[in-house]
Amino acid sequence: FALRHLAFPFSGPVLTHALRGEMQLTLVFIAALLSVAAAVPGQPTSLRFSRVLAESLRVEWEPPSSGDVVGYKVVKRAIVPIPDKPYSTCSNDQRDVNQGNTVCTPTTGNSGIGQKRAAAEWTDCGSCTARQLHFDVTGLAVGTEYEFEVRAYDSYSLGKAAVGTVRTGWTKPRAVDEPIVKRGAKCTPTCKNGGVCTDYNTCHCPTGYTGATCQTPVCSPSCKNGGVCTAPNTCLCPRGWSEAGSNAELFDNLEHKLNLNQNVPWSGPTCETPTCAFGCKNGGVCSKPNVCTCLTGYGGFDCAIKIFN
């Protein structure tokens, strides 16, 4: 309707000036909207996947041709098939139930809905800076197809998504010392100390154990002087006194013998170091179990005696 039909409290030049002001504000607002729309980051290009393993992969892309990109956002969702539903071209009212005959020849097949679909909602993988044109994704399921979206964003908005699909590998990378287990493997008796049964009565032993059932610990280097390997690289040195010494005075003393019964004549990681129960005094050195080699001028089983020439 015409402006003259409106009951405005003002008219003439005042009305014209007011309308012009409103139009100018409207044009400024529209221009601002168009400016914001033009500033939205464009769509990343050349979306691709690399380093695809059983549980991880890398998403790569090229930057969009427009927009002030601050960073990129990556999301994913798993894809699974829907089982096909069987159908028949004959409905129930097309069958002559009383005569046991079928009016039409049924054609069986599937419903056509067995297409792939997203099994779950989108999951946020994370974000990266504008200069990083790739993103490493971990924690994926083995042998599963995934759909990925990558969007560029600025300080105000997200751009259009680049979309791609990929399937993870079926085999996890095997560790260097991970055994290969044959189907139907059975070990009697069972493997011990963390051993894995890999075939019929065949145990794969972890580092530090050996034997048919991984029952024997390994010490490397081996234990010496009667030491016993009780755990991987752990030697139990024997207790008791040794008559390897030349100090008859020490071993003829019954009291000393009783004390030495609790002595550990050899010590060290592999029982290679001799020990002297009573110590060596005056600079003497324990050269054999309970045998001190004394400096000149000293004697006795513990080098405690001063010798005068």
Q: Which domain holds residue 147?
A: 45-167
160 and 51 within one domain: yes
| pLDDT tens, position by position, 39-56 | 789 999 999 999 998 899
Q: pTM of the prediction?
A: 0.41
152 and 82 within one domain: yes
Torsion (CA) 250, 253, 254, 255 in degrees, nearest 10: -80
Q: Report which residue type is found at 159.
A: G
| Cα gap 238→266, rounded to integer Å | 7
Residue 87 lies in a domain: yes
31 and 49 within one domain: no
* Nearest residue to 73 via CA among 135, 5, 21: 135
Alpha-carbon separation of residue 80 from 58, 140, 189 (angstroms)? 21, 14, 43
15 and 49 within one domain: no
121 and 157 within one domain: yes
105 and 152 within one domain: yes
| pLDDT tens, position by position, 255-265 | 455 455 567 78
> What CATH number did the domain enclosing 125 receive?
2.60.40.10
Higher pLDDT, 99 or 123: 123
| Cα gap 240→265, rounded to integer Å | 7
| pLDDT tens, position by position, 169-219 | 876 666 656 777 888 889 999 999 999 999 999 999 999 999 999 999 999
Please, what is the average pLDDT of the chain?
78
Q: Is 248's pLDDT higher than 50?
A: no
Torsion (CA) 212, 213, 216, 217 in degrees, nearest 10: 120
